[in-house]
């Protein structure tokens, strides 16, 4: 019997607008009523994955597994990018518009004006822009110094690749430091860096162990590149029909598309709950 459900958000559990809605929240409530535990497993920061209606009922695995929070948002585990490699990245790769994500805020070395010019105005993704203005902008510290970033608990480093950007310098850096830092992008045109060995799969396993739940009692769901370790680690692993081909190959089964509530429906059916 499944005792813990863990799901990615964007492209998996959420609706077509990258949001929770009444159907999803009600479905999670019904899982909880049957005695199951529920965990979000996302690349998002902890401030961007709140579910106000059931905030105190779910666990959160954030930043691709770098941060695990309990139902009261207390930190169960946190993995930061090692300071030495972070310092080298800051010194050697000044040309890239990185976001340095901590549990409290996001740091960028750019001014607000430059940041918008390079990262927001150039994006054609209207939904991403809406999410950025709503969820991310209020928590960004612009024009951060190297020392401010080094003093922070940087769990994840994000980079959205601009059209025509040359990433060879970054790719070479990652190859040199592959034993210290890992890249697990959720989709194309992205870099999502964490400490080596940090991923959603290990985080779900760690949470299950803490809750006394065996791996074969865990069901996981994901659609992208940052879900591969999680999908490959568990017996009950599912990808929606819109998932990347690699994610589908890692999963044990492919279900319907995410925008038709296939994930929450599958979870409910797993416990014998009528939709």
Model confidence over 245-270: pLDDT tens digits? 999 999 999 999 999 999 999 999 99
Q: Examine the pLDDT at 17 and tell me if it is beyond 90.
A: no
pLDDT of residue 128: 66
In a domain, 229, yes or no: yes
CATH of the domain at 139: 3.30.1240.10
Does 226 lie in the same domain as 95? no
In a domain, 207, yes or no: yes
Q: What is the pLDDT of residues 134-161, one digit of tens each?
A: 777 788 999 999 999 999 999 999 998 8
Q: Examine the pLDDT at 118 and tell me if it is beyond 80.
A: no
Does 50 lie in the same domain as 11? yes
pLDDT of residue 216: 98
Q: E strands, the chain, where?
A: 4-7, 37-41, 59-62, 67-69, 75-78, 99-101, 106-107, 140-141, 156-160, 181-183, 190-195, 218-221, 236-239, 253-254
**Among 17-21, 116-120, 218-222, where is mean pLDDT lowest?**
116-120
The token duo for 49 is 């994955």
Q: What is the pLDDT of residues 38-63, one digit of tens each?
A: 999 999 999 888 888 998 999 999 99
Does 190 lie in the same domain as 89? yes
- What residue spans of the chain are helical by DSSP H? 22-33, 83-92, 112-115, 126-131, 146-151, 168-176, 200-211, 228-233, 245-250, 262-270
pLDDT of residue 86: 99
d(CA 124, CA 51): 27
Does 33 lie in the same domain as 20? yes
Under DSSP, is residue 220 helix (H, G, I), strand (E, B) or coil? strand
Q: What is the pLDDT of residues 58-97, one digit of tens each?
A: 999 999 999 999 999 999 999 999 999 999 999 999 999 8
pLDDT of residue 122: 59
Identify the bridge partners of residue 75 per DSSP, sorted by sequence position. Answer: 69
In a domain, 246, yes or no: yes
Q: Examine the pLDDT at 27 and tell me if it is beyond 70.
A: yes
Q: Which of 152, 169, 195 is the last residue of a domain?
A: 195
pLDDT of residue 121: 58
Does 185 lie in the same domain as 204? no
pLDDT of residue 143: 96
In a domain, 137, yes or no: yes
Residue 123 banded pLDDT, cuts 50, 70, 90: low
**Among 99-103, 116-120, 199-203, where is mean pLDDT lowest?**
116-120
Q: What is the pLDDT of residues 167-226, one digit of tens each?
A: 999 999 999 999 999 999 999 999 999 999 999 999 999 999 999 999 999 999 999 999
Does 239 lie in the same domain as 181? no
Q: Which whole number is the average pLDDT over 232-251?
A: 98
Does 177 lie in the same domain as 94? yes
Q: Which domain holds residue 11?
A: 4-79+199-270
Residue 116 banded pLDDT, cuts 50, 70, 90: confident
Does 203 lie in the same domain as 189? no
Does 107 lie in the same domain as 166? yes
In a domain, 275, yes or no: no
Domain count, the chain: 2
Phi, psi of 8 (to 5 degrees): -65, 165
């Amino acid at each position: 019997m499944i005792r813990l459900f863990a799901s990615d958000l964007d492209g998996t559990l959420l609706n077509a607008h990258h949001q929770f809605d009444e159907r999803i929240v009600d479905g999670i409530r019904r899982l909880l009523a049957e005695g199951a535990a529920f965990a979000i497993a996302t690349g998002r920061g902890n401030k961007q994955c709140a579910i106000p209606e059931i905030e105190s009922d779910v666990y959160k695995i954030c930043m691709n597994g770098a941060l695990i929070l309990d139902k009261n948002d207390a930190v169960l585990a946190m993995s930061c990018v090692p300071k030495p490699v972070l310092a080298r990245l800051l010194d050697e790769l000044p040309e890239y518009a990185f976001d340095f994500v901590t549990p409290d805020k996001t740091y960028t070395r750019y001014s607000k004006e430059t940041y918008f010019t390079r990262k927001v105005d150039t994006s054609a993704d209207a939904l991403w822009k809406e999410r950025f203005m709503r969820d991310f902008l209020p928590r960004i510290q612009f024009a951060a110094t190297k020392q401010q970033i080094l003093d922070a608990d940087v769990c994840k480093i994000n980079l959205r690749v601009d059209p025509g950007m040359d990433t060879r310098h970054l790719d070479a850096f990652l190859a040199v430091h592959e034993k210290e830092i890992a890249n697990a992008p959720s989709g194309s045109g992205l870099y999502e860096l964490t400490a080596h060995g940090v991923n959603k799969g290990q985080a779900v396993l760690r949470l299950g162990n803490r809750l006394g739940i065996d791996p074969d009692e865990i069901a996981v769901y994901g659609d992208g590149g940052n879900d591969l370790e999680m999908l490959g680690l568990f017996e009950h692993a599912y990808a929606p029909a819109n998932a990347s081909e690699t994610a589908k190959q890692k999963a044990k089964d492919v279900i319907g598309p995410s925008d038709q509530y296939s994930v929450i429906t599958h979870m409910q059916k797993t416990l014998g709950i009528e939709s």
